[in-house]
Amino acid sequence: MSRTLLPSPVALSRKADLLTLVENRTVYSLNAFELNIFETHQQAHSVPLNLGALVLTTMLRGKKVMHLPGRDAFDYLPGESVVVGEQQTMEIDFPEADEQNPTQCLAVAIPAETIRGTVDLLNERYPRIEEHTPWQLDARAYAHLHNTPELAGTLERIIRVSQETSAAKDVLAGFTLQELLVRLMQTQARCLIFDNYQQHLTTHRFAHVVQYIKHNLAEPLPVEKLSEMACMSKATFFRMFKREFGLTPVEYIIQERLTEAKRLLRHPLSTVADVCYRTGFNNPAYFQKLFRKHEGLTPGLYKKQGRVG
């Protein structure tokens, strides 16, 4: 897992400070939101949790199995987040938790009026590219998410501002919560188009662009060509793509090329040089530098370790 998908570690509670071994709760209450940090230090099953408001949860340590109404149970691991709807009860299993391997999860409870205000502001001043897909926070279709670096970074700031003691704490918290909502909706937009582009080829102009990128990673992918495919000027395409998804077209191309590079590196007969050219980098030194920046190790070491993911 990329090191950019988790907020910085949060210290576990001292054993003497634990009130319970199952979902021990530390609460930071601010005017803008409530941050909860839950820890579980022993196995448990079917533990109910309902925080009343819409909640963004993020796994920091260990493993849970989540049960949400209307969907199959799923493993919940570090680097992932789950959106839980207002007044929705989740049931949680802790199949592996113990003193040496506790689970730790943060949960940000967000007031409904804050969500409405942020969504209305975005739709009025910064609308998405297609009118039929306005900004909205979906707690059903895209509830289980893999963190993006941008979402993980904002969650880290949520933790930091919650623990501040400055007089401006609540002001900073309000701004940070708005950023969190934007990052969360951009992450869901990526799920909609990046992961399901084939379903939207006739209804969303970015879906066609995403398909072309995914099918032509070894070829040059100039933004000028991509903007023409979207029937937009280069400047408008660049701005709207970043607004919609939280990253630029160039950053997305690099992300896709690195994902394909990792897939190819896992093949036993591949070489680092071959993978470099097959994924469109064309400069082995640049490929090495970029891979290490994003993955925390060189392509050669990644291949040697037989990494999965």
DSSP line for 156-168: HHHHHHHT--STT
Q: Which two tokens stand for residue 201?
A: 């080829």
| pLDDT attached to residue 141 | 85
pLDDT, residue 140, reads 86
| Closest by Cα among 299, 298, 295, 296 to 278 | 299
Q: What are the structural domains of the chain? A: 3-193 (2.60.120.280), 199-309 (1.10.10.60)
Contact in structure between 162 and 35 (CB atoms under 8 Å): yes
Contact status, residue 234 vs residue 175, Cβ threshold 8 Å: no
**Predicted pLDDT of residue 3:** 56
Strand partners, 82: 57, 144
Assessment of whether the complete model's pTM goes beyond 0.85: yes
Which stretches of the chain drop beneath a pLDDT of 50? Answer: none
Q: Enter the DSSP assignment of 4.
A: G
Query: Which amino acid would we find at residue 250?
Result: V
Extract the runs of DSSP E, i.e. beta strands, from the chain.
24-29, 34-40, 44-49, 54-61, 64-67, 74-76, 80-84, 90-94, 103-110, 144-146
How much is the pLDDT for 247?
Answer: 96
